[in-house]
Structure 1
Amino acid sequence: MCLFPLKGAENVNPDTRLVLTFNEVPVVGDSGMIRVFDAVSGEQVDSLDMSVPAGPTERRTYGPECDYTKVPYDYSRTVMPTNRNTRPGTPSGTAEPTPPDYQLNIIGGFTDAFHFYPIIVKDSTATIYLHNNVLDYHHSYYVTIDESVLNLPDGSFRGISKTDGWTFTTKDAAPSHIDTLVVDASGKGDFNTVQGAFDFIPDFSDKPVVIVVKPGDYEELVYVRNKSNVKVKGSGMECTKVHYANNEVFNPHPLTVKTNEWPGTFPSRRAAFALDNCRDIVMEDITIATDLKGQAEGLLINGERIALYRVHIIGSGDALQANGTIYMESCELDGDGDTILGRGSLFAYKSNLRNNGGPFTWVRNTKGNHGNVFVECTLSTGNGKLADFGRTKSNGGTTYPDAEVVLIDCQTRNILPEGWSAIGERTARMYEYNTCDMETGKPVDTSKRHPYSRRLDAQKDAELIADYRNPAFVLKGWMPSADLMQ
């Protein structure tokens, strides 16, 4: 059995995982405790009870009292709550307390907490996920694990006791530099996790920070709140992947409070990676994915001036949720129906969108705000099923009269002849110009398009077409840039 951190290891990052590698594939048990103690004081600093399930597996039933919050959700804070100073499940906004029926972890200061997997097994490796932010700098710790926590086919795992000496010491201090932070799962950077790096950055900092994420597989649930002027720089879509098995069932919204529909509603917890109440964020050269089906965004954005370059987003149902002002360039997006959900203004340029049939968008922008605009993009399915550009069907009595989806110089494959499967109101702006077939490059037949949609004319609508090719026109005057200082 190999351990990480190694016995007696020094200069360990406080956001480290605990990793056990065996010669056989271990099976996670449903009883026993994992404990971490301060090696000097003997105080227990964290524990994981394996008799507590990770999270629900069946969808919740919501009653008529479940509604949107009547007052905007309050994101303000003077300090970031953590698992060390706040009970996980402590309610925020108008939500009820999150019941302790499942594992709970405060991530990114969200006190209502997330359900999470305390152990994830891949091949012969078992990775233990401690509660976030429970370890500190300049401390020594030892780990104990009950025998029933993990089971090997040959029965050779007998647990780990204090006398086995799995001890390690964290780094003396947090990084003294703030302009560039390095994330490396091997422990050779400033942080082992993407979440650890974001937690280190002060809320709404005016100083630009670059988070360099080294090549690797980062299986972690990331929730980022109240951050600004940050660039996340991966090592390429094929080299750096951040992912987690999360969806609406595993991390549902509260029984009494709905999410998503209007600005100011309760935050959603179902995405693998969420940027919530953030602004001026750049992400590039990275893959972000969910590992579950259902309502499961790979990336959920609630913020202003968020720019994505060469980002591969993989999700299910609503693969990307886009709220605010968002720019995508040279990105890849894979999802199921309702591939993009949101009330924001999204400008996608030279990006490739794929789904398994169904709507590519369910846009909910309000009056005075643009919706989803695609310029020189591809929209296609790879399984032969027919998709459509979007829908704005009636939803709880709302038909989204100001919804907008615009395609300029795009190429398509396997799209319904109607283009849009449902448009709730004639006032919706469902436009396209110069849509061509991906295989032949020739203009597609638009004679059967939805009667509420409109094909733009090269001469009569020349000014409007030019406007829609301009990101600033769509994004409230913002001209995106990969540089943090604009």
Structure 2
Amino acid sequence: MRLVRLLAPILAIASAAPMLRALDSVRPSTLFPAPGSTGACIDTHLRLDFPSPVTLGRAGLVSVIDVASGRVVDSIDVSKRTDTRTIGGAGGFQVYPIITDGDEADVALHPGRLEYGHTYAVTVDAGAFECDGRPSAAIEGDRTWLFTLKPSGPQPGAARLVVAADGGGDFCTVQGALDFVPHANNRPVTILVRPGTYREIVFLAEKNDITLRGESRTGTVIEYANNARFNPSGGNPFEGASPDPSAEHVHGGHIYRRGVLLAHRTRNLVIENLTMRNLTPYGGSQAETIILNGATDARSILRDLDLFSYQDTLQMNGQAYVANCHLEGDVDFIWGTGPCYFESCTFRSLHSGRYFTQIRNPSTNHGYVFHRCVFDGAPGVANNYLSRIEADRFPYSEVVLLDCRLGPAVGARAWLVSNAHHEPVGPQPNLHFWEYNSRTLDGAPLDTSGRDRFSRRLHEPADAALIRDYTDPAYVLGGWNPLAAAR
């Protein structure tokens, strides 16, 4: 009897431990799709908002169950921080299936697991998430978190699709809308992306005549931490001295997978009025926001965009026109093969002694031309180069600045040629590092006396014909006039 009396408090504490742990656990304050809701998108993410900053737990499953059949149609293991998925028809993408940001956990389900008109239950194991060291409570049963999908999707051939992160559109993700557009599409399709943060890698290939338009330049944000370390590939065939963007099909092994958005073998693509951020931290390797792999007749247009990264922010291989965009980066953050024409854009370097561009055009097309653009940097940034090229690897490089303003972030030398068999001492026929009417930020004439002799300053009237040609986008872009493209 005495032993029982001694053990009783211990047994009471032990039996109460699960209850104490349950009382100490934390529950999400809101769930998306909302419990009991109808009309969810077929590509919906699951979102859990907690009362304080949330992180992933050590173990646990987030499961989705088809209520009618009782079958588990998808399951995400929180202990596996990354997953390999197919995006836009291309396999081998590494992704983060669950991303936590502040108080929110965003769960990206596997594509193609949900069906229109079906009702699903979501369960979450206890401890799958943590807040302030406290484990999350379990979400259990087939009636706690239920939602029903829309009865059907958009009509085939729809000319307008709406993406809304809050579930109020045809799709919840940009990729979902792009996947709806048929392969080899040649009918104009506009995808309107409503304000929200879209945490996804976007990939489209061999689909034409698509306009991807944000409803708010600053409020519509597509972002991801994707880079060459996270998604290495066998190399891009379009970065060489003689690129052929039309040669590599989507299932080839030599296509980059490291950007936030990659458009491969597309024509008449327009991306406008939104923000893209590659969240790869400084020093995290090559990390584009946009990669365009098109042909010299791709007719791509980028306008009214804000693009943020560090290394390789924008890569364009093929014909493109870029207008009224803001780009930030620090190493070769504008690069590719061209031909490309930039109008009224701003480029901001984030560190000193770096490079705005590296242009690797072949002899068969123009490189990159910048008209009425601004090259500057963050406070205190200095001694940056407008462009650099490794002449032994890429014998042709054309970078032309016309009526541009250059801030103190641009060094006096401005241009760099490296790895040449012989250091260039004068103008080079294969190298067009040219400027016309470069000015300071306040519009005063810029002192260019520190430039190397392999670069060239254009002057009127001697170079009037050359200046006139390069001021015309159609001349640079092989006869295509992007100004005639309808908005």
TM range (shorter): 0.7 to 0.9
Residues 230 and 484, structure 1, Cα contact 8 Å, conserved in 2: no
Between the two structures, name the one with larger relative contact order (CA 8 Å, sep ≥ 6). 1
Q: Would you say the 8 A contact 1:289–1:299 is kept in 2?
A: no
2:436 aligned with 1:433: yes
- 1:144 corresponds in structure 2 to 123
Identify which of 384, 387, 391 aligns with 1:390: 387
Partner of 1:366: 362
Cα contact 1:343–1:363 (8 A) shared by 2: yes
Match status 1:416 vs 2:411: yes
Q: Which has the larger share of helix?
A: 2
Instruction: String of CA shifts for 1:69-109, please: whole Å, max 9, x gaps.
Output: xxxxxxxxxxxxxxxxxxxxxxxxxxxxxxxxxx1121111
Taking only aligned residues, the RMSD between alpha carbons, in angstroms, comes to: 1.9
Equivalent residue for 1:335? Answer: 329
Structure 2 residue corresponding to 1:344, chosen from 334, 338, 344:
338
SS of the counterpart of 1:343?
strand
Query: Is 1:261 equivalent to 2:261 in the alignment?
Result: no
| CA displacement, residues 58-79 of structure 1 (integer Å, 9 cap, x when unaligned) | xxxxxxxxxxxxxxxxxxxxxx
1:285 alignment counterpart: 273
Choose from 42, 60, 69 the match for 1:32. 60
Contact 1:370/1:475 (CA < 8 Å) preserved in 2?
Answer: yes
Q: 1:203 aligns with which of 171, 174, 183?
A: 183
Q: 2:123 touches 2:139 (CA, 8 Å); kept in 1?
A: yes
Match of 2:475 in 1: 473
3-state SS in 1 of match to 2:132: coil
Q: Structure 1 residues 154, 247: closer, same or farther in 2, change over 3 A? A: closer
Give the partner amino acid of 1:261. Answer: E
Task: Tell me the SS of whatever aligns to 2:310.
Answer: coil
2:132 corresponds to 1:153: yes
Task: State the Cα distance separating 1:33 from its structure 2 match.
Answer: 1.8
Cα pair 1:231 1:484 within 8 Å, conserved: no
Offset of residue 232 of structure 1: 1.3
Contact 1:247-1:295 at 8 Å conserved across structures = yes
Paired with 2:456 and 2:412, the residues of 1 have a C-alpha distance of 14
Q: Is the 8 A contact 1:365 1:371 kept in 2?
A: yes
Shift in Å, 1:259? 5.7
Residues 127 and 135, structure 2, Cα contact 8 Å, conserved in 1: no
Alpha-carbon distance in structure 2 between the residues aligned to 1:202 and 1:271: 23
What's the offset of the Cα at 1:260?
5.0
Structure 1: distance between partners of 2:362 and 2:349: 26
In the TM superposition, what is the alpha-carbon distance from 1:382 to its structure 2 partner?
A: 2.1
1:9 to 37, 54, 57: 37
CA distance in 1, matches of 2:342, 2:322: 5
Displacement over 6 Å in runs of 4+: none
Looking at structure 1, the residues matched to 465 and 257 of structure 2 have their Cα atoms a distance apart, in angstroms, of: 41
2-structure distance, mates of 1:36, 1:484: 44
* Conserved? CA contact 1:344–1:371, under 8 Å: yes
Aligned partners of 2:194 and 2:370: how far apart in 1? 31
Residue equivalent to 1:64: none
Please tell me whether the aligned partners of residues 253 and 269 of structure 1 are also in contact (alpha carbons under 8 angstroms). Answer: yes
Match of 2:78 in 1: 50
Shift of 1:480: 0.8
CA distance in 1, matches of 2:302, 2:150: 33
CA contact (8 A) 1:108 1:195 kept: yes
Q: Does the CA contact (< 8 Å) of 1:380 and 1:387 recur in 2?
A: no
Contact 2:356 2:386 in 1 (8 A): yes
Instruction: Confirm or deny: 8 A CA contact 1:280 1:484 kept in the other structure.
Output: no
Code of the aligned partner of 2:277: A
Tell whether the 8 Å contact from 2:128 to 2:136 is kept in structure 1 after alignment: no
- From the superposition, tell whether residues 249 and 260 of structure 1 become closer, same or farther in structure 2 (CA, over 3 Å): farther
> Is the aligned partner of 1:130 residue 2:125?
no
1:163 and 1:234 map into 2 onto residues whose CA distance is 37
CA distance in 2, matches of 1:163, 1:191: 25
1:118 to partner: Cα distance = 1.6
Q: 1:111-151 CA deviation, whole Å, 9 max, x = no partner? A: 22x11112122222211111223222122222222223212
State how far apart, in whole Å, the 2-side matches of 1:354 and 1:25 are.
Answer: 32
Gaps of 5+ in 2: 1-27, 249-253
Contact 2:214 2:273 in 1 (8 A): yes
Distance in 1, matches of 2:372 and 2:94, equals: 39
Q: Is the CA contact (8 Å cut-off) linking 2:121 and 2:143 kept in structure 1? A: no
User: Which structure's CA Rg is the greater one?
Assistant: 2
CA offset digits 1:348-405 (Å, max 9, x no partner): 00111111231111111101111110001111112332211100125xx51x222100
Q: Quick one: percent identity of the two aligned structures?
A: 36
Per-residue displacement from partner, 1:448-480 (whole Å, max 9, x unpaired)?
212211111211211111110111111111111
Q: Distance in 2 between matches of 1:130 and 1:434?
A: 53
User: Which stretch of the first structure deviates more once superposed, 428-437 or 231-240?
Assistant: 231-240
Does residue 313 (structure 1) correspond to residue 307 (structure 2)? The answer is yes
Q: Letter of the aligned partner of 1:419 in structure 2? A: A
**3-state SS of paired residue (1:346):** strand
Aligned residue number for residue 47 of structure 2 = 19
TM-score (norm 1): 0.84
Amino acid in the other structure paired with 2:371:
V
Residue among 237, 240, 257 paired with 2:217 = 237
Measure, in 1, the Cα distance between the counterparts of 2:149 and 2:455.
60
Give CA deviations for 1:198-245 in whole Å, capped at 9, x if unaligned: 111112322111111112222222112222111111123222111111
Matches within 5 A, 1:202-221: 202-221=182-201
Instruction: State whether residues 272 and 304 of structure 2, in contact with CA within 8 Å, keep that contact through their aligned partners in structure 1.
Output: yes
> What do residues 410-432 of structure 1 show as CA deviations (whole Å, max 9, x unaligned)?
11012121120226472211111
Return the alpha-carbon distance in structure 1 between the equivalents of residues 142 and 154 of structure 2. 33
Question: CA, structure 1 residues 483+174, in 2 after alignment: closer, same or farther (shift >3 Å)?
Answer: farther
**Are the equivalent residues in 2 in contact too, given 1:243–1:273 (CA < 8 A)?**
no
Q: Is contact 1:275–1:300 with CA below 8 Å preserved after alignment?
A: yes
Q: After TM superposition, give the deviation of residue 164 of structure 1 in Å.
A: 4.7
Question: Which structure 2 residues correspond to residues 167-178 of structure 1 after superposition, within 5 A?
Answer: 167-176=146-155, 178=158
1:279 match: secondary structure: coil
